[in-house]
Each structure stands twice: as C-alpha cells, then as structure tokens.
Structure 1
Amino acid sequence: MDNINQRETISVNVGGVNIGSSHPIVIQSMTNTVTSNIEATTTQIKELADAGSELVRITVNDATAAEAVPEVIKRLRDAGYNTPIVGDFHYNGHILLAKYKETAQLLAKYRINPGNVGKGSKHDDNFATMLKVAIEHDKPVRIGVNWGSIDQELLSGFMEENAKLANPKEVRAVLLDTMVKSAELSCEYAHKIGVPKDKIIVSLKMSEIQDVIKVNERFAKLNDYVMHLGLTEAGTGVKGIASSAAALAILLQQGIGNTIRVSLTPEPGIPRSREVEVCTNLLQS
C-alpha cells in the first residue's frame, strides 16, 4: 500500500515516533501479559518490537501494574529497546496516573476510553484528571471509543431523541451515531481542558466490518485528527486476520488511518507477534 495518499492530518509525536499524514503508517501492538509480571511483560515487548511493532501498549489496570511500569521500561532501555510504551487505562486511570507520577512520566502515551472513565459528573471529573496529567507531563492521549463500552448516558440520550422521530432509525444506526458523537465530544472536552490537537489520536472500534468502516469514514470527514485503526473482537486465526484485513484495507485505501493494530484472540502455540506480522503484510500488500 505504498502509493496510498493518507487524508491530510496534523502530526502527533509519541515517544519519538511521528504519526500523521506526513509520515508512514505506524504499526502498533499490545501485550497480553499481566503487567506486574515484569519478566514476562518485558520479554513480550521485545518480541513485538523485534517483529516490527513501533509502539507497544500495556495494560495499566491496578496499582501493581502501575508500580511495575518503571522497571519494565528500565529493562527495555538497558537492553537497547527504545520502543515507546503506551499505557492502556480503564475505570481507574485517573487514580493511577495521579498517584504514580513516575509511571505517568515514563509512558509515551495514555489510551483513554471515554465510555468507562465514570458516570454522570464523575465522568468529566475523571476524564479531566487524566487529561491534566497528560498536559503536566507533555504526553499525547488516544481517545479510544469502543462500541462494547460506549458511553451509556450518551447512547440513552440518542435513543430517546430517535424514538421521537416520525421515522426512527434502526438501533444499530443510532449506535453508530453515538460512536461518532462520543469521539467528537471527547475531543472537544480535551481541548477545553487544554490538550492541543497535536496531542490527540482518535480511534473508533467496533466488531463488525461494515460498522467500523462507517464510523471511521464519518469521523474522518469531520476533522484532521490523527486516527488509529483497529477491529475489536476480530477473532482467532484466519477469521480474525481476514476480518481485520478487510476492514483496515478499505479504510486505508481511502487514505483513512495513520496507525494500525490487528487484535487477534490468543491461540495456543501462536506467538503474540503474529498480530504485528499481519499488519506488516497488510501494509506491504
């Protein structure tokens, strides 16, 4: 896909890796180890980096994981690996990032899911806390909207408005509307808090091929944010590879997408680096 012209975007620097239309599409991956298992996590990050992953994301879901991050990164750097490490946060990210300042400083980017940062007034407070930590440490964030954890209050509002229409949309169509709006509102809120556009990457992930294509096409037309592509719950083996390739190839051919990940369900005997190999082959096809 060397001849593809990416839609024009700004550039975001993630730990020294530039992402955006002025740069090649970036491959990233994610560990499936328990992050507090420092040896296993470090080993798998090396495997992914050796396979060609330019960014590696790790789960930071509790205090033990947050405490392990500095040692994981130290071991990587001591071994000569400069791969930027991204923190994946859910539910308690506002607590962990505020408490573990060394971890917040060492991570290259924070992945934030606006659907699970809290409910009601807590949603904005918790989201703001994470964004302010990103500003403090000069870190980019990925606003990752996922259909499986969509903001239920926003979805309910869209459903209520839809029910009042003379010709209501199908439920699936309302979900797609909510996905796009959640990404828009989250970006607007990040700007309100003080996060500049060149510190924001956006992803909209769904499990159905046509759905993920539609929401990303719609969002891409509205702005020039850097976009991360991926199909959630793609599955195992050939099915997972085929589904991800089908969705990503269509978007990439339209110039949509600046960084990609293929998420495959783990299989016995199959190395984690398989997801990186799929990305590499997709971009070279």
Structure 2
Amino acid sequence: MSTSKDGKDGTDWSADQYLKFHDERTRAVHDLVHRVPLPGGRFPLSDKKGDTPLRIIDLGCGPGNSTAVLADRFPGAQLSGVDSSPNMIAKARATLPGVAFGLADLRTYAPAPGAADLLLANAVFQWLSLAERLPTVLRLFAALPPGGVFAYQVPDNKSEPTHQAMREVARGEAPGTSPSDPWVATLRELHDRDPIETPEQIYDALIPHSQSVDVWHAVYNHVLVGGPKDIVEWMRGTGLQPWVNALPDEVTKQAFVAAYERRLGELYERRVDNSVIIRYPRLFVVAVKK
C-alpha cells in the first residue's frame, strides 16, 4: 500500500494500525482481483499442469493482505511483493513466509522486462504526484509481456468529509479552530495529496498500449461502530499519518488529532445503533497489454 508516503520525518508506517480494519481495507482487493481477465489462455493456474507458473508482483504490497488475496485467487502462482515501508515488509514476510518480499519505491522500481504476467497495485498510486503517477504506471506497464495484465485501484476520496476535515483543521479553518493553533504553522506548508486522474485521462494514457482497458468506480459504505474515534483510527493507518508525523512534538500531535476528531463528530451523524458510516469511493483499472 505504500511508496515513500510517510511523514516529513521519515517515520515508518504501522502495519498493525493499518490492519485494524483489515476486512474493510481488503474488500477492494477482492473486487479488483476478480475482474482480472484471462488473457491468451494462460489463466487459470489450476489448469497449468507442469507449465511455467503465472508470475505476479504485488506493487506496494503493504502488510501482505493483498498478496494473500492473490495467493487464494491464483494458487500455484509465483508471487512476489514490494513496498517502501520496512514495517510493512516485515509484517508481510511474517504472514506469508513463502513469498519473496522486498523493499522498493515504485518511483524507481523497475521489474525486468517480461518478469511478470500480472502486476497488481492496491491503494498505492494515490501517493504519487500527478506529474509522476501516469508516467510511473506506463513505465511499469511496459515491462509486461503481450497479454500481461496491470490491475490497480486507488482511493478517490479527497473530497470526502474525512479528508476535507483534515485540511480544514490543519489550516485552522474548521469551527472551533484558529490560525493561531500550534499545529497550523507546520501543516499549512504540508503538500496535500494530488487528485486522482479522471477515467478518461487514464483510458487515453493506457489504450495505445493495450488490448483493453477497464476503468470503473465503486463506492464502499463502511460502518464504524466506534463513531468519530474509529474514523480517526482508520485514518491513522493511511491519510492522517503524514499530517501527524510532520508535527514537532507529542502534545501538538494530540491536540491536532483531538480537533480533527471533534470536527468529524460534527460532520458524521450517528446511526440508530450509535455507529457512523463513512463513504469511500475507489477507482479501479484493469489493462491488458498489446
């Protein structure tokens, strides 16, 4: 899930924090993997008796939850995974000792030409800037053989209240906050994540090199029984961490997170069972190489 997207101080990601919502975070991987086509008669692996196994690389594999889905979907595949987070790679290796995991940043990672039949990336490319995102996708796509598949999904949730609230609180613009709050001077200068390309932009970039390009959106409505506190815990595993890591001391970090949680309490209405529902749009891409 990660590609050098930690905070300014280089603090690593936490696999345990990320996996607090394992089932919810992994649903999109299942949906993506089950849309991978069967190109060139090379799939499924269960029919490949004595043949060369399918080679799959999990890009931004995180703690290995997406790799485990691939292992279930394609039994017998030659699996490997890369991620920029040492903590995530350690967790992945402990969970799936039979898979080759390694440290790599997707900005510079270059699989050998023809080294993979399927490249999968779950919730990683959103951390690249607009200027580098599609060029990175195209560079990796070029390493696939004809008929190879590139499948990825990214959260497309920058305009959701979870993220709007982060930006408002960070700038001291949310109700109950002020530009003089102790975190504002630091976070005002922090570059926010770039928006995701439109389906049309992605299609136009990939189709000259593809037999087919499938692009779609899905919206997940996740029920969090702990209310705003659970939203904070969810966000600590991903989008909130770069903001928190940028702050200079624990007191300021706690004050910022508390203000963020208060704002979420204003934005998310409790359901009849006292839970909250967060809306989580994701964009999916599956391309088959010419």
Higher helix share: 1
- Give TM-score, length-normalised by structure 1: 0.32
Q: Greater Rg, structure 1 or structure 2?
A: 2
- Give TM-score, length-normalised by structure 2: 0.31
